[in-house]
Amino acid sequence: MEKTLNWREYVVTRLVRASGYSAIVFVALIFFFLLREGLPTLGEVPFSTLFSLRWYPIENYFGILPLITGSIIVTLGATLVAVPFGIGTAVYISEIAPRWMREILKPMVELLGGLPSVVLGFLGILIVSPFLRTFLDLPTGLTAFTGSLLLGGIAVPTVVSIAEDALDSVPRSYREGAWALGATRWQTIWRVTLPAAKSGVLTAVMLGVGRAIGETMTVMMVTGNAPVLAITPASMFSPVRTMTATIAAEMGEVANGSVHYHTLFFIGMVLFIISLVVNVAASSVVFRSKQRAERVLS
Amino acid sequence: MKSLPRLIGLSIALALFGVSCASTGSSLSSPQTSTAYIENKGSDTIVNLALAWAEQYQADHADVRISVTGGGSGTGIAALVNGTVDIANASRQIKPEEVTEAEAKGIQPVEFVIARDAIAVIVNPENPVSELTLQQLSDIYSGKINNWKEVGGEDRPIVRLSRETNSGTHVYFLETVLRLGQKENKTLFSMDTLLLPSSEGIIYEVRQNPNAIGYDGLGYVPHDLKMIAIAKEQGGAYVLPSADTVNNGTYPIARDLYMYTAGQPTGAVKAYLDWILSPAAQTIVTKLGFVPIQ
């Protein structure tokens, strides 16, 4: 009896450990594959071409700067939409909304999170982009801004559900303490609950950013895909081309092993490194603030 | 991409058709003739036409099974060279290096012109501009002309729309319009040209945006958009795209559509190709908005 139990324990422990390690193995394998397919680009495309301003692969123009700036500007815009809106919604659900409202709102937000991005893209083409064109008097409604709005919408559910969990786990005694000191509801939220949930809220923001930078379908449908360097504020309201949209649009017909093929993988590598940096930066901030909190408490 | 929903629908229909045939076949005790299979693959421009043909032909010939897939002209020709398909569809002529590659594998590609396709230049119906020369069109797309008033329209910025670079239509438009068919001409699309992943994307944008100009295969242009009449040169006649103007060669942005076989076709493939070139099959070409060969 004892023996079978031990044996089962052994198997289950190993299985759980293996699935834990598998995440590391998969990331390593993906990165290795990206390196293998992407690095040849550095030998095939001169640096001056790779960091030039024109992306037109069928004539061997492989300038990836417009694509990088395009991704960054759309993600930045999406973050500006998703963070205030997402955290606001999370605060409302967790701190202010009455119980019945919360029961309606939470599933609604989750439903929004499950909305296929291609559907949002359709809404973008049919409604948001014509509206923005006439409302803001732009030459075309297919702009970085349109992409940002929709991507913000895609990132909001991620931000809301994680930030809401974090706020929920703040002990009730914190709030009661603040109220006892005479703090208003808003003061309690802004000075006590949110700072106490800081690491969780930050994780929410980072995952939201990650969701936005990796999103492909919506962006490909609504940002116009013109590979123009996007570094001025005006670029926000003109068409841009992102890294994800480029890979998605061009991977299908590229000849296996060609310079174009390697360059697309190189772009994938850049994308991977950017999200790695975002994640590492986020976790180091969270880690540092945790350490400080522990110091204060001890 | 534009044909994906229809393609899925048709393949389901074909699958169901196949299943129903299989069941009737098994209920008959003795199948008399063996079934011939034809693999047909290539250009996305042609895929709808090829599917319509295959459907009609299979309805008339129960002993022939034709499978049609898209993927692009290059994909189709590569498959022909590798010996995985019987017929490759292409919206461009086979390249010399592809012929060399095929010959290295002992395959002699044989070309059939199966229909013609015109590229229509489209604008919003609100746009008063209705005629352009090829040179003006080239200047618009390469970024030399940036306002509609420079070509006799209203004072509005021009928003250029194009298909993605992997589309055969994009390459054809680049060579025929932007570079005016000149081999040494290295004009490129203006960098701010919007590259849309589908024909629908272009049509949606042109439909609601009076600043936009786009292009698409004649067969895909809906009636509520305005087509531009094109003149080959300054002072020449402006011609609207239609079956007649394409066949008499007056409309300048038109191309042949091809099917390629590995060597002279025989048996079922030959019968199928002969049927495609017959008037009965060519009426389907007209129905789908392409131009039949005469």
Tell me, what's the pLDDT at A291?
67
Pairing state between β B229-231 and B131-133: parallel
> A–B: how many Cβ contacts below 8 A?
76
Tell me, what's the pLDDT at A290?
67
In-domain check, residue A9? no
Higher pLDDT, B218 or A159: A159
Cβ–Cβ of B201/A241 closer than 8 Å? no
- Which residue among B75, B159, B165 places its CB closest to the CB of A58? B165
In-domain check, residue A80? yes
Tell me, what's the pLDDT at B6?
52
Cβ–Cβ of B166/A252 closer than 8 Å? yes
- CATH tag for B118-254 (out of 3.90.79.10, 3.40.50.2300, 3.90.1150.10, 3.40.190.10): 3.40.190.10
Interface list for B 135-164 with A (CB within 8 A): 156-157, 159, 164
pLDDT band at residue B32 under the 50/70/90 scheme: very low
Chain B residue closest in CA terms to A57:
B165
Tell me, what's the pLDDT at B59?
92
pLDDT digits (tens, 9 = 90+) for B228-270: 999 998 888 999 998 888 888 899 999 889 999 999 999 999 9
In-domain check, residue A12? no
Q: What residue ranges do the domains of chain B occupy?
A: 36-116+256-287, 118-254
Q: Is the pLDDT of residue B167 over 70?
A: yes
- The rounded Cα A277 to chain-centroid distance in angstroms is 12
- Which residue among B74, B194, B197 places its CB closest to the CB of A239? B194
Cβ–Cβ of A249/B159 closer than 8 Å? no
Tell me, what's the pLDDT at B21?
42
Tell me, what's the pLDDT at B72?
79
How close does chain A come to B211, measured CA to CA in Å?
A: 6
Q: What is the mean pLDDT of residues B68-88?
A: 87
- pLDDT (tens, 9 = 90+) of chain A, 298 residues, equals 556 678 888 999 999 999 999 999 998 999 999 999 999 999 888 888 888 889 998 888 999 999 999 999 999 999 999 999 999 999 999 989 999 999 999 999 988 888 888 899 989 999 999 999 999 999 999 999 999 999 999 999 999 999 999 999 899 999 999 999 999 989 999 999 999 998 889 889 988 988 888 889 999 999 999 999 988 888 899 999 999 999 988 887 677 778 889 999 999 999 999 888 888 887 787 777 666 666 655 5
Mutate to test the interface with B, among A117, A123, A140 (most CBs of B within 10 A): A140
- The rounded Cα A57 to chain-centroid distance in angstroms is 27
In-domain check, residue A121? yes
Tell me, what's the pLDDT at B78?
86
Tell me, what's the pLDDT at A296?
58
In-domain check, residue A2? no
Handedness of CA A10, A16, A19, A25 (dihedral sign): negative
In-domain check, residue A19? no
Cβ–Cβ of B211/A255 closer than 8 Å? no
**What's the whole-number average pLDDT of chain A?**
89
Tell me, what's the pLDDT at A188?
92
A147 Cβ under 8 Å from any chain B Cβ: no
CATH class assigned to B36-116+256-287? alpha beta
Residues of chain A contacting residue B189, judged by C-beta atoms under 8 Å apart: 56
In-domain check, residue A82? yes
Q: What is the mean pLDDT of residues B128-149?
A: 94
Range of the domain at A99: 39-297
pLDDT digits (tens, 9 = 90+) for A151-172: 999 999 999 999 999 999 899 9
Tell me, what's the pLDDT at B240?
93
Query: Domain count of chain A?
Result: 1
- Which residue among A58, A133, A142 places its CB closest to the CB of B194? A142
Tell me, what's the pLDDT at A295?
61
Q: Is the pLDDT of residue B56 over 90?
A: yes
Cβ–Cβ of B166/A133 closer than 8 Å? no
Chain A residue closest in CA terms to B76:
A253
Chain B residue closest in CA terms to A248:
B197
How close does chain B come to A26, measured CA to CA in Å?
A: 30
In-domain check, residue A34? no
Tell me, what's the pLDDT at A163?
93
Q: Please determine whether the domains at B36-116+256-287 and B118-254 fall in the same fold group of CATH.
A: yes
Q: What is the mean pLDDT of residues B149-173?
A: 89
Query: What is the CATH number for A293?
Result: 1.10.3720.10
Helices in A39-143 by DSSP H: which ranges? 40-44, 47-50, 65-91, 99-113, 117-123, 129-136
Tell me, what's the pLDDT at B3?
47
Chain A residue closest in CA terms to B170:
A58
